[in-house]
Structure 1
Amino acid sequence: MLGIILFSLFISYTAYLGLCFLRHRNLAREIGLPYVSFPISSHNILFLSLFETRFVPYVINTWLSPKLADLIYSSAFKTRWAAKDRLHRRHGGVYMLITPSVSTCMVCDASVASQIFMSRHGFPKPIKQYGALEMYGPNIVTVRCPNGFLHSHLAFRVSANVSQSEGSQWAHLRRHTATPFNERNSALVWEETIRQTNEMVQYWEDEHSRSSSASEFILTGAREDILKFTLNIICSVGYGVKLPFRPVLENSTESAEGLFKDAITPSPGYHFTFRSAMEYLNKHITSMFIANGLLPKGIPRSVLPFFKKDFDAFDDIGRYLRALVSTAETKETLSQNLIDGLIRSKQKIYKDQGLDPELTDDEILGNLFVFTIAGHETTAVSLRFALVLLALNQDAQEYLYEGIREATYDEPHNPVEWDYRRVYPKLVSPLCVMLETLRMYPPVADIPRWTGDSAVNITYQNQPYLLPPHVYVNVNGSGLHYSEEYWGPDAAVFLAKNEGGGLSGPGLEYDTIHKPVRGSYIPFSDGFRSCIGKKFAQVEFVVAMTVIFREYRVMLARSNERETEDDLRRRAEKVLGESTAFITLSMRDEVPLLFQKRCVSKA
């Protein structure tokens, strides 16, 4: 009897999926765009979990045809970057992807991408995918814009219900959160990044040098150190908490200042020290989101003992952030870090305008948390990619070095003495390296939108198309960034020296840097809701590249004496090619790197 019931349920569910699939297929035919079909939703948890294994990608790459492999990769957000623009070459710059659960308009055309980003009333972000980012409170990511947009540079797929009435809340948060990102804050980023880079390189020399002279060292893995590096910067520039790269342990105290020091044991009432809590978030961000953002709040924690550390870290980070806010609110003089900027903006807007309500504590905590995630994870993965790309491309590395040498030739030898306003504008070659790294390995490989409750028009190849309500839209950043139509025949080649003419694009402030066709370069998103932390990330990346490469060159390191140069390249390229996305696109494995000191007296 049970078998009959289960079989009947299976048949009914299969029939239901079939009917849903036919409905989405008919919808695609009505739209008039080319379409491809796939039997599984791109957000199916079981389907996505298959890509956590090594076996499934191996089978796809080895046993399946390239066309089928690209279709599978394009149908999952974790692996969409791997397909680049190949499906769009076959089906066009805009086509429909049909699954039983959803219809998605896949966009790899710069003109259509610009229409989506520049639209004031259409193509909002699908806000139900961002609910987990409200773990600590409402923020600029998780509330609806007045015109229907949702601002975010993150692409985390989750579910939550957000009301349509939150447009005014987005405008309220936008006014407050945009204020701290200014030139004075960028100067803080400059100073702190110089300090942290010096300390990180000194740590590498002490721990990994092959000789007492520290003339060269090998990093078998840079992930943890670079995450610590970017985390320390956001803690300083974001929270006003200066952490040395190499921890200096002290006895814990309950004072406002001592609460955030590197303590031997956590302060009373805490499970983690401030640094260890933030580092736990770094290393276990997936389980932190699942435990505290995805699981229903009504489930007793006692029945989920395997998430105990995730719950404890969540509680401690919240308490630390509240302590920081409390301390900032009692200061007589506020600094230029982000938390003080939020407090200053809150006080000024509330006092001067009298109309906009002040930020609540939950809104401050929610935005600080988002700043933390966006402020260190994306930059950390981009730095890791850049180090490997420069090791693979020595010509690009020499271009970087020559640009640094020219920009800093008349500057003091110690970077600590460099003036941000004088030196930063001259550091064009490190910025080119960043922009090219982000082109080939964008932290967010695709940007989700949807049509919301209204039909929206697009124009593709001079033909109008009407997208009905509730159709998802995916702007394929990796496809746009690898398109030969916009980047020429060398689109798949790392070319840091990318100069020439072109139209304006976000993040490209210098006349000497190539400015691509609008809509073809979107690592910072684009349009009215592009990334507000763009300058923060640029300064951080440029300083790190400058301080490291003015004294060192980087090469691929051998794991044994029998490895040839070709073996090293194949291994590194394999690691790059197997990158996948969760919150950001990142390498799953490490690439050992050899750093050799340059024989120069002044650079």
Structure 2
Amino acid sequence: MLFTLILYSIILILIVTYIVVHVKQYEYFKVRQISGPTPSYFFGHARTLWNAKSPSRQLAEWSKQFGKIYGIFEGTRPVLIASDVDFLQEVFIKQFSHFPIRKTNILTKALNRGTRIHLFNALGTRWKRQRNVINPTFSAVKLKQMSPLINDCINELMKKLPDYSEKHEDFNIYTLYKRMTMDVICRCAFGVDTDMQNNPDNIYLKKVAQVFTIDIRKMLAFKLGTLVPSLGVTLGTLFIFLNTVKQKLNQLFPSTTKKFEQFPASWIMERVDEVIGMRSDVAKQRVDLLQLMLEAASREHIKDKNDDVNDQYIAKKLTYDEVIANVFLFMVAGYETTSTALAYCTYVLVNHPEEQLKLQHEIDEYLSQNEDGKDPDYDVINRMPYMDMVIKEVLRMHPIAISAVVNRECIEETDVCGIKITKGAVIQPDVYSVHYDQELWGPQDVNSFCPERHLTKRHPLAYIAFGVGPRNYYHSHISYYY
């Protein structure tokens, strides 16, 4: 009887302690005199964001209510939502050493224990090493070499458009852009000459599309890892282990493929691995992203040093597993973002015929200077100022960066604009509120399409369509490439 009483007392004390600690966590913003929506116990604001049709739009609505800096909670983790550009500049640029990583989730730390980790998720010195190797891959000289591959895919799309025009029927140009973009990526990323524009059932197109149909935010393991961060590594490791089991079952028992279908990301990486295996024949080598990375690859183990090491002492090599992971990243990052940006450009120009005509005049002018009649190359496109302004204005109004790309996690306690930020707290920009701030983007109405507004010099953080700061570099190059 006494033992049972003591046991129940201990359990009760633990429960009360757990509740008190968590309730105290929700005082994080109050003690800093930062406003925000009222959190619900245990969930914070996570449940609201999970159920929102557009989490980014939800943040913009809260910004209108609580101002340019306010606080929310993912479980008990504090997240500062900011549309104050001076505050964001301090976090993303001036104090980057305190905020060098994106918000960690159940996969980030688990993946960093493995070998197939790409630039997006890499942490510490591993990220610095990969950045030092990959950034030069996107130099102008190397991008020019891929122009013929891109032009072939674009020309294939242009052959199809007259047929749709002659039929006078509605068609989904977004679908055509996705196929064309995937063709470009497969050719430029790892040298697979696909023909997805004539074969919409292509397996590569299906697998990459599946990557985006899986909303990881709504998966039970991800939700639990968000609410109970201490379980993050365990859940992430289990998630990876189960996918590995599915992969092995498919190899041993091909008839089980549908029943134990592995995640599309793993399937794509396997295909990249196969292509690498076929690159041993020098005569068949071609200029693409994979080949450029393989030239900097090593089969030796690369030991990353402490995070405070200078860049000059970091190895300028990638492992073959890192090459595989980064080619996959290129495919995924380029596919959805590029096709979506093209679709928005089309939509905006159709609704603004005057700007469309002005852009057409610029294009015709530069192409008329091309005496040999060849397709436009990197240099020609790069010399079109109005096109650059049009694309920037489209992406100002319809930013494609998502919260997973642009947020930052604090790794060391610091002070930002008078606000004490503790380790583990997250800073997340409200991109919509920044891009539609009349003070930043006036005097023209921010809700109107006006490419010329980009002729005026703005605050460095006024335009964050691809995020900002050192960890933005790779994604901006991918998007600019297209």
TM-score (norm 2): 0.77
Structure 2 match to 1:524: 466
- Residue 92 of structure 2 is aligned to residue 117 of structure 1: yes
- Further displaced range: 12-21 or 330-339: 12-21
Conservation of the 8 A alpha-carbon contact between 1:138 and 1:363: yes
Q: How far apart, CA to CA, are the structure 1 residues paired with 2:363 and 2:261?
A: 42
Structure 2 match to 1:477: 431
Q: How far apart, CA to CA, are the structure 1 residues paired with 2:375 and 2:204?
A: 33
Report how far residue 243 of structure 1 moved.
Answer: 2.6
1:105 to 68, 77, 80: 80
1:139 to 115, 118, 121: 118
Structure 1 match to 2:131: 174
Provide closer, same or farther for how the CA distance between residues 186 and 456 of structure 1 changes in structure 2, counting only shifts above 3 A: same
Write the deviation string for residues 22-79 of structure 1: whole angstroms up to 9, x where unpaired: 42342212223333323244444xx556446xxxxxxxxxxxxxxxxxxxxxxxxx42
1:417-496 aligned within 5 A: 417-421=375-379, 423-446=380-403, 447-452=406-411, 454-459=412-417, 464-488=418-442, 490-496=445-451
Structure 2 match to 1:241: 192
Q: Which has the higher helix share?
A: 2
Q: How far apart, CA to CA, are the structure 1 residues paired with 2:449 and 2:15?
A: 46
Conservation of the 8 A alpha-carbon contact between 1:399 and 1:497: no
Corresponding letter in the other structure for 2:87: V
Q: How far apart, CA to CA, are the structure 2 residues paired with 1:17 and 1:484?
A: 45
2:292 to 319, 334, 341: 341
Conservation of the 8 A alpha-carbon contact between 1:190 and 1:539: no
Structure 2 match to 1:384: 343
Report how far residue 203 of structure 1 moved.
Answer: 1.9
Structure 2 match to 1:394: 353
Write the deviation string for residues 525-582 of structure 1: whole angstroms up to 9, x where unpaired: 2222223243442242xxxxxxxxxxxxxxxxxxxxxxxxxxxxxxxxxxxxxxxxxx
Report how far residue 517 of structure 1 moved.
Answer: 0.7
Q: How far apart, CA to CA, are the structure 1 residues paired with 2:18 and 2:348?
A: 44
Conservation of the 8 A alpha-carbon contact between 2:68 and 2:82: yes
Corresponding letter in the other structure for 2:452: K
Structure 1 match to 2:39: 38
> What is the identity percentage for the equivalent residue pairs of Structure 1 and Structure 2?
16
Report how far residue 499 of structure 1 moved.
Answer: 4.1
Conservation of the 8 A alpha-carbon contact between 1:484 and 1:490: yes
Conservation of the 8 A alpha-carbon contact between 2:116 and 2:322: yes
Write the deviation string for residues 459-506 of structure 1: whole angstroms up to 9, x where unpaired: 1xxxx121223222111111111111201251122222334331xxxx
Provide closer, same or farther for how the CA distance between residues 316 and 120 of structure 1 changes in structure 2, counting only shifts above 3 A: closer
- Residue 181 of structure 2 is aligned to residue 202 of structure 1: no
1:296 to 223, 239, 243: 239
Q: How far apart, CA to CA, are the structure 2 residues paired with 1:499 and 1:321?
A: 40
Structure 2 match to 1:326: 277
Conservation of the 8 A alpha-carbon contact between 1:104 and 1:474: yes
Unaligned runs of 5+ in 1: 1-10, 53-77, 145-166, 212-216, 249-261, 263-272, 503-515, 541-603
Structure 2 match to 1:500: 455
Structure 2 match to 1:585: none
Conservation of the 8 A alpha-carbon contact between 1:106 and 1:473: yes
Give SS of 1:406's match. helix
Q: How far apart, CA to CA, are the structure 1 residues paired with 2:198 and 2:260?
A: 22
Conservation of the 8 A alpha-carbon contact between 2:83 and 2:434: yes
CA RMSD of aligned residues (A): 3.8
Structure 2 match to 1:596: none
Q: How far apart, CA to CA, are the structure 1 residues paired with 2:386 and 2:14?
A: 57
1:253-264 aligned within 5 A: none
Conservation of the 8 A alpha-carbon contact between 2:196 and 2:205: no
- Residue 479 of structure 2 is aligned to residue 537 of structure 1: yes
Q: How far apart, CA to CA, are the structure 2 residues paired with 1:359 and 1:100?
A: 36
Q: How far apart, CA to CA, are the structure 1 residues paired with 2:106 and 2:431?
A: 18
2:363 to 363, 386, 404: 404
Report how far residue 284 of structure 1 moved.
Answer: 5.0
In the alignment of these two chains, the number of paired residues is: 427
- Residue 25 of structure 2 is aligned to residue 24 of structure 1: yes
Provide closer, same or farther for how the CA distance between residues 493 and 182 of structure 1 changes in structure 2, counting only shifts above 3 A: same
Write the deviation string for residues 136-155 of structure 1: whole angstroms up to 9, x where unpaired: 811111121xxxxxxxxxxx
Provide closer, same or farther for how the CA distance between residues 204 and 398 of structure 1 changes in structure 2, counting only shifts above 3 A: closer
- Further displaced range: 373-382 or 526-535: 526-535
Corresponding letter in the other structure for 2:117: P
Corresponding letter in the other structure for 1:102: R
Give SS of 1:128's match. coil
Give SS of 1:229's match. helix
Considering Cα pairs closer than 8 Å and 6+ residues apart, tell me whether 1 or 2 has the greater RCO: 2
Conservation of the 8 A alpha-carbon contact between 2:269 and 2:328: no
Report how far residue 83 of structure 1 moved.
Answer: 5.4
Corresponding letter in the other structure for 1:125: R
